[in-house]
Chains A and B, each alone.
Chain A
Amino acid sequence: MKSRVIMVLAVSLLTAGCATWSGSEVTQDGKVIQAVVVPENERTAPEDIILTEADITDKEYTVIGDIEVFVNKTTIFNADPTPEMVEEKLRERASELGADAVIFVRNGSVGVSAWSWGSLEGRGRAVSFSKNQ
């Protein structure tokens, strides 16, 4: 019994350094797709990706797909994931897809999921601006 407790504590301490883990999926018309990852030299840097809750009306864009990301805390002892973490994950994923912006950004509420004691989901639509502007 004691050895089990020690093992659980040791695993918790080891994994506590990785406070969160995350994942994502891309959908189009409600279906999950295997989105093409753009080469690094063709991507917009994550920090330059525009994130907005609204639509973008002053530029023409093409829709790449709807991104759904989730950020999970690793153990019950870690801090809950935050909207800022979700936004960072949205930027990273959008950059990989060759997007310039993510529109209609929204988050869920933190709670227990099948894989984590604290999970936060975020969504947005990845778009790339038309080049002939």
Chain B
Amino acid sequence: MELGIFRRQRSRRFIQQEPVSESGMSNIGTFNGVRLCIAASLILLLAGCARSAPDLPDHRVGKSDEEVRLMLGISKSDLELSCTEISTAMNDLNAKIEENEQEIKGDRTQNQVAGYFGALFLFPALAADQNTDSKEQLDSLQVRKDQLIYLQQRKCK
């Protein structure tokens, strides 16, 4: 059944009116809605999710040094590190953290673009990188950082 809604089509010399059927309008609306959903989903999924802050260490109030070292997983070889070695390890660690952060940041823009184009053509979306490795690396670096901070505080101040 024709709704009386017309799509205006321009010709060279005069405007022609072409009727659009109800089912045709419904299909167009559904198609646009589906594309919008796909676009929103892809952008959200592929733009790079925020990494949560690492978990806090366990409570240390009332705990002995040995208990704290066990909780942190500090090895005997770590206890033998000199202040200079601890400081060097800390600097290297901070550099690795910065490197991973920059990689995540650098990929965010690329991922967002992939998400936008992915809404139109699926294949660019597959190229997006969630930086899972970098994020996992950052979490494990935080564990090591907690150890070094403890050692630095105990031995070097």
Q: Which of A57, A61, A109, A123 contacts B51 (CB 8 A)?
A: A109
A108 and B50 within 8 A (CB) = yes
Using CB atoms, name the residue of chain A closest to B142: A106
B153 cross-chain contacts in A, Cβ below 8 A: 54-55, 57
B60 and A111 within 8 A (CB) = no
Whole-angstrom CA separation of A109 from B48 in the bound complex: 10
Which B residues are closer than 8 A to A by beta carbons? 43-44, 47-57, 59-61, 101, 104-105, 108, 135, 138, 142, 145-146, 149-150, 152-153
B108 cross-chain contacts in A, Cβ below 8 A: 110-111
Q: Which of A62, A106, A109 contacts B135 (CB 8 A)?
A: A109
A-B pair number, CB within 8 angstroms = 69
A104 and B57 within 8 A (CB) = yes
Using CB atoms, name the residue of chain A closest to B154: A57
- The answer to the question of A96 belonging to the interface, with a C-beta cut-off of 8 Å to chain B, is no
Which A residues are closer than 8 A to B by beta carbons? 53-55, 57, 61-63, 66, 68, 104, 106-113, 117-125
In the complex, the 5 A-B pairs of residues with the closest C-beta atoms, listed nearest first? A111-B50, A109-B51, A123-B53, A108-B53, A108-B51
B53 and A122 within 8 A (CB) = yes
A62 to chain B, nearest CB (A): 8
Given the known A-B contacts A54-B153, A55-B150, are A104 and B51 also in contact in the complex, defined by CB atoms under 8 Å? no
Which of B52, B60, B149 counts the most A-chain CB atoms under 10 A from its CB? B52
B61 and A61 within 8 A (CB) = yes
Q: Which of B43, B56, B135, B138 contacts A123 (CB 8 A)?
A: B56
Whole-angstrom CA separation of A66 from B142 in the bound complex: 17
A121 and B60 within 8 A (CB) = no
B49 and A121 within 8 A (CB) = no
A117 cross-chain contacts in B, Cβ below 8 A: 47
Q: Which of A54, A55, A106, A118 contacts B53 (CB 8 A)?
A: A106
B133 to chain A, nearest CB (A): 13
Q: Which of B48, B59, B149 contacts A63 (CB 8 A)?
A: B59
B56 and A107 within 8 A (CB) = no
B50 and A112 within 8 A (CB) = yes
